[in-house]
Homo-oligomer: A and B are copies of this chain.
Amino acid sequence: MALNTGERVRASAVKLFAGKGFHGTGIRDLAQAAKISSASLYHYMGTKEELLAGIMRECLERLLLAASRLPGEDPPERLAALVALHVLTHATQPDRTRVVDHELHVLSAAARRGIVRLRDEYEDLWTVAIEDGIRAGSFHDGQPGVTRLALIEMCNGVSRWYSPRGPLSLEELADHYARLANRMLGGRENDFSIVVGQVRSVVSTVWKKPL
């Protein structure tokens, strides 16, 4: 848990960007949080914007990496896995995910492109899962495109309120969201606790290595 300076810079940035926004966070705030001088910051980062982009990219890459290791035989389980992945990531990495979800508009067009590509790649996984489920007759929904957006936004919200010190365990949280998602798509009521357990281990593996 003892972070080196470079890690401390990034960790501080994640926390501050999440709490006060990119533009609300000054370079001196970052320096103070990382316990170095503002000049020294620049040994560990390029510009402030590059720091932001790096944080976003890394978060999305871990999300995609985790997604590539997801269980899920049939579409309902596949979607449950995606929901669990998204919810667990947002619950355990609320700062990072808030930054990804809220600060995209800050990036220059050039930097944004790369991030948006990753995000689109990730969202495509949802699209495919939903369409597969409808084609297979497991899901019934008149507006799958809209529903996908609704699903993702619903899950994004988790990072804004979930607390591990609250009454809900991570598994209960993910399980409940998987049920909600399944209901939204008209799936048969089901228990996704096994899938959730598997996803939870994927998520914790993917986020284990130093950030």
Contacts and interface: CB of A to CB of B under 8 A. Distances in A.
A176 B185 CA distance: 11
Contacts of A142: 176
Given A21-B106, A105-B19, A183-B184, A153 B149 contact: no
A105 B154 contact: no
A24 interface: yes
A157 interface: yes
A186 interface: yes
Contacts of A168: 143, 146
A105 B183 contact: no
A156 B51 CA distance: 28
Interface string A156-194: 111011000000100011001100100110100000000
Interface centre among A154, A158, A161, A173 (most CB of B within 10 A): A154
Contacts of A183: 183-184, 186
Interface string A17-30: 00111111000000
Interface residues of A, number: 33
A152 B158 CA distance: 11
User: In the complex this chain forms, how many copies of it are found?
Assistant: 4
A143 B31 CA distance: 42
Contacts of A177: 150
Nearest to A103: B21
Contacts of A156: 153, 157
A147 interface: yes
Contacts of A154: 150-151, 153-154, 157
A135 interface: no
28 contacts: A19-B105, A20-B105, A21-B22, A21-B105, A21-B106, A22-B24, A23-B23, A23-B24, A24-B105, A142-B176, A143-B168, A146-B168, A146-B173, A146-B176, A149-B157, A149-B161, A150-B154, A150-B157, A150-B180, A152-B157, A153-B153, A153-B154, A153-B157, A154-B154, A154-B157, A156-B157, A183-B184, A184-B184
